[in-house]
Amino acid sequence: MIDLYTAATPNGHKISIALEELALPYTLHALSLPDNEQKQPWFLAINPNGRIPAIVDREADNFPVFESGAILIYLAEKTGRLMPGDARGRSLVMQWLMFQMGGVGPMMGQANVFHRYFPEKIQPAIDRYQGETKRLFRVLDGRLKEHEFLAGDYSIADIANWAWVRTHRWSGVEIDDLPHLQRWLDTIGARPAAQKGITLPPSSLDLGNAGGDKARAFAEQARKMVETGQSRQSGA
């Protein structure tokens, strides 16, 4: 029913987790970002922005959807799951989904670049993006102090935020002082769909683990992409 074009990144994992949660049949197509597969003409016909993830809904006359948040909304509306049907409940989910799309993802992404990948250590930039990431984590922790999940029942908002927050060590940000956020991470991490989703496609490195030789090798590959300017051409 669904063709998923993806790679082993937090944005990609959002969609594999959601598809597993929804038990929708799908075919996974793993793209090699270092090889710029996401910039090939055949993929640009699916996503003109040349970034992963993207889906094609074969059941809906081969309808393509790109941008991870838009894909999550499409899948939730298609199935009537992972998002409430009433206006207030839907708005809550959308607010916390946009919180991830506009805040958590971009700030953690920049923290990753300057903390892990950039050839020079520019400490003010590292401090800026790690500090803003930690501030956003405190917002999540405050919300989760009073709520089991971000927007009522477990939803696409939780999936989107969890796929990024679980990689906090890769961004160089600890959460030992945020117990409600940690509880939420553990709760979702125990879900079979989340456990499976973060392994699709298979990767030599789990970004939830920030150390070891594999982490150094992964960072070095990403650093080369930054140094050569390929990061401006690749999806993440």
Phi, psi of 56 (to 5 degrees): -125, 120
pTM confidence score: 0.92
Length of the chain as a residue count = 236
Pairing type for strands 54-57 and 2-6 reads antiparallel
| 3-class secondary-structure state, position 94 | helix
The per-residue pLDDT for 208 is: 83
How far is C-alpha 130 from the chain's CA centre? 17
Per-residue pLDDT at 139 exceeds 80: yes
> What is the average per-residue pLDDT within 132-148?
98
CA distance 213 to 195: 23
Q: What is the pLDDT of residues 60-90, one digit of tens each?
A: 999 999 999 999 999 999 999 999 999 999 9
Contact 147, 139 (CB under 8 A): no
CA distance 175 to 113: 20
Q: What is the pLDDT of residues 166-211, one digit of tens each?
A: 999 999 999 999 999 999 999 999 999 999 999 999 998 888 876 6
Per-residue pLDDT at 234 exceeds 50: no
CA-CA-CA-CA dihedral for 133, 5, 185, 92, to nearest 10: 80
